[in-house]
Amino acid sequence: MSDKYTPHVFEGENKHLRSTIMSYPDRGPWGDKNFRGNVSGYVIRDLISNYFPTSPPKQFIEVFSGGGTGQDVCQDLKLENTLHLDLSTGWDALTDKLPAPSDLTFSHPPYWDIIKYNQLRKGEFQANDLSNKMPYLEFINKLDCINEKIYLNLLNNGYHAILIGDIRRKGKYYSPIKDMAWFGNLKDHFIKIQHNTKMENHAYNKNSDYTRILHEHLLVFQKKELWNIPLKYVHNTNLEMKKLKRVSWQDLIITFLQQRNTGVKFEEIINFTRTIANTDNLEEIEMMIGKELKSEIFIEQKGLWFLTSK
Ligand SMILES: C[S@@+](CC[C@H](N)C(=O)[O-])C[C@H]1O[C@@H](n2cnc3c(N)ncnc32)[C@H](O)[C@@H]1O
């Protein structure tokens, strides 16, 4: 059947993907157009066509297939070996095995709990739904488990393309692609423009200070090594500024003046500095700070030091 495979080409351009910006103002005829959070079928069509320009993937898998967009696209492209997996079709990404190794897996997970699929899905409550209310880091940990499973299931040279957006919650910005682990080699990073989205977040009213998020990320990872796994993972920490290796005396004085929020005597700066300096030699410290305070960043008025920009 592979002779009937019909990857899409943009006419006159001989390209399957135009650039790293994906913008499809209409979502195309594929899948359930009323399924909340569905993806434009053009994304899946162009991805498959781009990474498999001449012959079809041996096995295409869609994880989180939702409203059937991927299935319809695959039928149009005349792909034979495709699997479309979702809780709503009885397959749980957290507990179930992938049914076959794949050379292209497309996954489109829930964007944390922005759309709560348990509330939309008919049938009993699914405790493993990734869109259930849970702390953000729990969501990321679960996503990591699924991404690892998808990566391990790839055939050598196969791809995992994951589409996921950023979220603003109570004024805080969350970007799952920057917090999740990355398995494999990053082959491409597309920015997909969001069109016609229902505004989920009431923060985006006309009086809001927040900038609307109108893009999603599509990361494509490739497996290039069988046993060795390139892995990038994020470690969040808070370090005391004074302990940073490259912190300068200028940085410290600026921060000290902001903390005090008023004019500060030379002696106070020295006393503060003595708690951090590697030397007890007062003369040396005074000389060093005196030199720093000569900068135009600082200004002295009636024996008190201020930030010039204040
Ligand atoms: C963003 S939607 C996918 C939309 C789909 N791409 C479309 O175009 O219609 C996320 C999907 O993840 C599914 N889901 C959530 N948790 C899951 C889990 N643990 N295992 C499998 N599917 C899950 C939901 O049922 C929902 O259909």
Q: Is the pLDDT of residue 1 over 60?
A: no
We report the CATH number of the domain holding residue 279 as 1.10.10
Statement: the pTM of the whole predicted model exceeds 0.85 = yes
Report which protein residue has its CA nearest ligand 1's atom 17.
129
Q: What average pLDDT score do residues 278-307 get?
A: 95
Q: Total structural domains in the chain?
A: 2
Per-residue confidence (pLDDT) for residue 195, from 0 to 100:
92
Do both 264 and 148 map to the same domain?
A: no
We report the CATH number of the domain holding residue 15 as 3.40.50.150
**Domain end residue (candidates: 209, 232, 255):** 232
Per-residue confidence (pLDDT) for residue 280, from 0 to 100:
87
Q: Is the pLDDT of residue 309 over 60?
A: yes
Do both 223 and 246 map to the same domain?
A: no
Do both 222 and 269 map to the same domain?
A: no
Q: Which of 27-31, 90-94, 194-198, 255-259 has the lowest mean pLDDT?
A: 194-198
Do both 143 and 250 map to the same domain?
A: no
Range of the domain at 292: 241-307
**Domain end residue (candidates: 201, 232, 263):** 232
Q: Tell me the CB-side half-sphere exposure of residue 32, using CA atoms within 13 A.
A: 8
φ and ψ of 69, to 5 deg: -60, -50
Do both 148 and 282 map to the same domain?
A: no
φ and ψ of 183, to 5 deg: -105, 125
Q: Is the pLDDT of residue 62 over 50?
A: yes
How is residue 277 annotated by DSSP? Answer: -
Q: pLDDT tens, 7-22?
A: 999 988 889 998 999 9
**Domain end residue (candidates: 232, 262, 287):** 232
Task: Report residue 110's pLDDT band, with 50, 70 and 90 as the boundaries.
Answer: very high
Do both 301 and 263 map to the same domain?
A: yes
Q: Is the pLDDT of residue 37 over 80?
A: yes
Do both 90 and 155 map to the same domain?
A: yes
Cβ–ligand 1 distance for 93 under 6 Å, the answer yes
Q: What is the mean pLDDT of the chain?
A: 93
Do both 177 and 286 map to the same domain?
A: no
Do both 117 and 247 map to the same domain?
A: no
Do both 192 and 298 map to the same domain?
A: no
Distance of CA 179 from the midpoint of ligand 1 (Å)? 20
Q: Is the pLDDT of residue 2 over 70?
A: no
Distance of CA 61 from the midpoint of ligand 1 (Å)? 13
Per-residue confidence (pLDDT) for residue 12, from 0 to 100:
84
Higher pLDDT, 42 or 12: 42
Distance of CA 68 from the midpoint of ligand 1 (Å)? 10
Distance of CA 66 from the midpoint of ligand 1 (Å)? 5
Cβ–ligand 1 distance for 37 under 6 Å, the answer yes
Do both 120 and 268 map to the same domain?
A: no
Q: Name the residue of 86, 105, 106, 141 to mutate for ligand 1: max ligand atoms within 8 A of Cβ.
A: 86
Distance of CA 170 from the midpoint of ligand 1 (Å)? 24
Q: Is the pLDDT of residue 201 over 50?
A: no
Residues 6+ apart with CB under 8 A from 116: 129, 131, 132, 133
Q: Which two tokens stand for residue 233?
A: 């993972």
Percentage of the chain exceeding pLDDT 90:
86
Cβ–ligand 1 distance for 129 under 6 Å, the answer yes
Do both 195 and 282 map to the same domain?
A: no
